[in-house]
Structure 1
């Protein structure tokens, strides 16, 4: 009888989910509420939710509850990218500058900005740690830090890598001014003008612009929106490249995450040729599943993987605190840091170190992951409801980004121009390649607290997109 009862409850809830009474991204009633409303035991309530979870209709978030995870049938994942790499690189600096001119405009709904908004950050606690840092540091933090970086911070970063079975110590880590600074040190240490590097496609435009400024040639690799780069495609480029540069976990802008076997294969094929891999893993901590995905660094036996991260996407974007575990290239990286920055910012490093040391970081991350996962589901629901037929979106299992592929007749650079008049900012897909591709794509960030206003802005954006067909 109990089996029939929990299935009956699951059937009722399934119908509510599919008819939209319970929308994608909504929080489900608590188990205790289910227990009271249906007059059933807690075990029966749990079984009903396990049934819904097994059918992919809801998803559990530790210490938060269950959320509707229904995938509307009219949304497919975007296409695998197919960069030609024969085309002459085209300039997109003007487009990038135009989009990021709204970076500090609070009147604009910044769906283009890939960081969590202030309401999702523990700002009051960080303020206390800044005050503590000034009180406790010699000279109140006015003195230079040692070149390799704040020792306490390096120790905390090394301690946190237990989540992916890392084997790093504080001596393996160099602190930097954010992840991009770490990547910059890596490229400057390992390449010369005219060298060629391989990257994902699409890829964060900052990486492309950095490579271009260093006079590097860029091979853009075919990339799957779920599993990341295609290892066979990378293999074909090995005779040409000096360095490989990957955002392996929940990359920006696709949100793809390389499976472990792909990571292992990539590290192996690169190590056989002695090719370094610069790995940007700043989104790895923002996972929606049960455990953190391993970085490529976890499979590195030769010291050829330079693993970078930061707290810019999880804790304090403006503090500019990042790091690099450069493996066998540590001396080169320390030299680059010495000649380019001398020292990292003393006070912010100490404040972040204190925050990590007191165990608050994991507590904050659990809450952040829950909020962002719910946001991603709400965005998927709204896009399915408001955007033109045939729209495709990525299915990220972590991070902040949705990659949206629209009808080929829609130019998202023009969509940006029209949307910004309604105070909506997007990131046109063309920004994420040096080639003339992704013109009908865009990146949307769900790093803001979900609200009726965000829903209305997505409805407006969908209406504008329909008007371009």
Structure 2
């Protein structure tokens, strides 16, 4: 564990234990640096980690404050779907929902998209800007079919740290998890096969399975287990 991670963990524990109350101002970067004998950049990284965890919020020219806790909604009950293979239906309802996304008067709460104005994303925007400025040809050009080799090599190294022995040639970079799932299912499924899915399931996955001509059997899910 790095120094900033250790400091972030320590501060997170203090927040959870109530030593820093919600809405309370946290110690300044300089004072924490002196208290723990670490550099200012280490404290800044620790605070950025806590901000990403939504435990603290920055206030311009005021410092960092403990974020307010939001009330947790009640835990939903365990699902009880029909325990037999079925064809995917209710497609008209999905289409109606997709059409509704184009209505500007509707707030799409189902989308997991970040607020581009949040301060925690600023380092990412700066890095993206730097990459575009210095690697324009790479950004606009085509890459290998399996994805950028340097990226695949780095992923292989990270997997090796967790005990998985793979090489860059064993890894394929896709456009997202949906694309990855589609490639994996096409490699092992054929029309008429039965695929187990959790219930409820993401409609995009159901759309993909429906297009492949497979049936599904719903597996009950429990929010606590």
Give the TM-score, by structure 2 length.
0.61
With over 3 angstroms needed to count, the CA separation of the structure-2 counterparts of 1:163 and 1:71, relative to structure 1, is farther
Distance in 1 (alpha carbons) for counterparts of 2:131 and 2:49? 27
Q: 1:189 aligns with which of 163, 187, 190?
A: 187
What residue in structure 2 maps to residue 399 of structure 1? none
Question: Is 2:165 the counterpart of 1:170?
Answer: no
What residue in structure 2 maps to residue 111 of structure 1? 109
What residue in structure 2 maps to residue 198 of structure 1? 196
With over 3 angstroms needed to count, the CA separation of the structure-2 counterparts of 1:164 and 1:208, relative to structure 1, is farther
Unaligned runs of 5+ in 2: 1-14, 36-46, 57-65
Deviations 1:86-144 (A, max 9, x none): 48546333322232335466554221212223334434532432343324x4xx744x4
Unaligned runs of 5+ in 1: 1-9, 15-21, 36-41, 43-59, 228-469
Q: 2:132 aligns with which of 130, 133, 141?
A: 130
Alignment of 1:232-247 (within 5 A): none
What residue in structure 1 maps to residue 207 of structure 2? 209
By how many angstroms is 1:165 displaced? 5.0
Question: Is 2:223 the counterpart of 1:225?
Answer: yes
Contact 2:85 2:217 in 1 (8 A): no
Question: Is 2:26 the counterpart of 1:30?
Answer: yes
With over 3 angstroms needed to count, the CA separation of the structure-2 counterparts of 1:118 and 1:105, relative to structure 1, is farther
Q: 2:99 aligns with which of 94, 98, 101?
A: 101
Q: Larger deviation: 152-161 or 60-69?
A: 60-69
Number of equivalenced pairs = 176
SS of corresponding position for 1:219: strand
Distance in 2 (alpha carbons) for counterparts of 1:188 and 1:132? 38
Report the structure, 1 or 2, having the larger strand content: 1
With over 3 angstroms needed to count, the CA separation of the structure-2 counterparts of 1:82 and 1:164, relative to structure 1, is farther
Q: 2:82 aligns with which of 77, 81, 84?
A: 84
By how many angstroms is 1:225 displaced? 1.2
Distance in 2 (alpha carbons) for counterparts of 1:204 and 1:114? 12
Contact 1:28 1:68 in 2 (8 A): no
What residue in structure 1 maps to residue 153 of structure 2? 155
Distance in 2 (alpha carbons) for counterparts of 1:103 and 1:205? 14
SS of corresponding position for 2:195: strand
Alignment of 1:361-372 (within 5 A): none
Contact 1:103 1:113 in 2 (8 A): no
By how many angstroms is 1:61 displaced? 8.7
By how many angstroms is 1:62 displaced? 4.3
Task: Report the RMSD for the aligned CA atoms in angstroms.
Answer: 3.6
Give the TM-score, by structure 1 length.
0.32
By how many angstroms is 1:154 displaced? 1.2
With over 3 angstroms needed to count, the CA separation of the structure-2 counterparts of 1:78 and 1:61, relative to structure 1, is farther
Contact 2:87 2:216 in 1 (8 A): no
Distance in 2 (alpha carbons) for counterparts of 1:117 and 1:83? 35
With over 3 angstroms needed to count, the CA separation of the structure-2 counterparts of 1:82 and 1:208, relative to structure 1, is same
Distance in 2 (alpha carbons) for counterparts of 1:63 and 1:170? 33
Distance in 1 (alpha carbons) for counterparts of 2:23 and 2:167? 40
Alignment of 1:408-447 (within 5 A): none
Deviations 1:239-293 (A, max 9, x none): xxxxxxxxxxxxxxxxxxxxxxxxxxxxxxxxxxxxxxxxxxxxxxxxxxxxxxx
With over 3 angstroms needed to count, the CA separation of the structure-2 counterparts of 1:125 and 1:95, relative to structure 1, is farther
Distance in 2 (alpha carbons) for counterparts of 1:146 and 1:70? 45
With over 3 angstroms needed to count, the CA separation of the structure-2 counterparts of 1:159 and 1:28, relative to structure 1, is farther
Contact 1:184 1:210 in 2 (8 A): yes
